[in-house]
Structure 1
Amino acid sequence: MFLIDCPYCGPRAESEFRCGGETHIERPGPYDEVTDEAWSDYLFYRQNPKAEHRERWVHAAGCRRWFNVARDTVTHRIIAVYAIGETLPAAAGEPR
């Protein structure tokens, strides 16, 4: 178990949170020009790197708010926690 620093509640146990998958995914558009292949890629395909990854998390057993986490998927080390709508903090590196 590890601690996640909720940007709204502070550090809490991992068991209070749920991962919502990859973040910073752009919806294809304009809608009337999107191919079936591009739409299925958007809906179903996600990166699953063995390295640093950006994810959405929700504090399910706390404030119930969503936020972003940059996390190493091998070591589970959390690199940065930042609010939805914000970009990855500069100290953590550039977003992919």
Structure 2
Amino acid sequence: MLLIHCPYCEEERPELEFRHAGEAHIARPADIAAESDADFEAYFFIRKNPRGLAYERWRHIHGCARFFNAVRDTVSDRILTTYKAGEKKPDPARFRAPDTAQSIDEQAAPEPSAKPRRTAERERKKDTAR
């Protein structure tokens, strides 16, 4: 279960208290009635689906009930930071791993081991018992 930090309540709470509210930082057209059908479709329906950093809106429905923004790594499903609605979105370079020049979304996922961990541990115990 994810623990999400609410920037208004100033505490981490379980993800069950929150609702995802879509992509953050989408600018609403000034005169929506004057928009072409294609432009309205792009504004209303089309969303990014990035692999890596995603800027999202969340709502703390079982707490303060306020909307806030979060930066989430879609590969690892970790929420890297949260910030209040209306604040400027954080620079993606801030989320670069300290020991590499890659950002979190550029890092390769770890290779799965050939055998489950418990199976490998059992085999080691059998080898040492012999």
- TM (normalized to structure 1)? 0.86
Secondary structure at 2:61 match in 1: coil
**How many aligned positions are there?**
93
Answer yes or no: is the 8 Å Cα contact 1:28–1:38 preserved in 2.
no
Answer yes or no: is the 8 Å Cα contact 1:59–1:66 preserved in 2.
yes
Deviation, structure 1 residue 32: 5.3
- Aligned match of 2:41: 40
Letter in 2 for 1:87: K
Deviation, structure 1 residue 31: 3.7
Secondary structure at 1:88 match in 2: coil
- Identical columns (%): 46
- Aligned match of 1:7: 7
Answer yes or no: is the 8 Å Cα contact 2:32–2:40 preserved in 1.
no
Query: Larger % of helix: which?
Result: 2
Larger Rg: 2
- Aligned match of 1:68: 69
Structure 2 CA distance for aligned equivalents of residues 64 and 19 of structure 1: 12
- Aligned match of 1:49: 50
| CA deviations over 1:24-62 (Å, ceiling 9, x no partner) | 011234445421100011011101112110000000111
Is the deviation greater in 63-72 or in 23-32? 23-32
Answer yes or no: is the 8 Å Cα contact 1:80–1:92 preserved in 2.
no
Secondary structure at 2:55 match in 1: strand
- Aligned match of 1:19: 20
| CA deviations over 1:44-94 (Å, ceiling 9, x no partner) | 11011121100000001111110000101111111221111101234458x
C-alpha spacing 1:34/1:63, structure 2 compared with 1 (3 Å): same
Secondary structure at 1:20 match in 2: strand
Secondary structure at 1:8 match in 2: coil
Answer yes or no: is the 8 Å Cα contact 1:55–1:69 preserved in 2.
yes
- Where do 5+ consecutive residues of structure 2 fail to align? 97-130
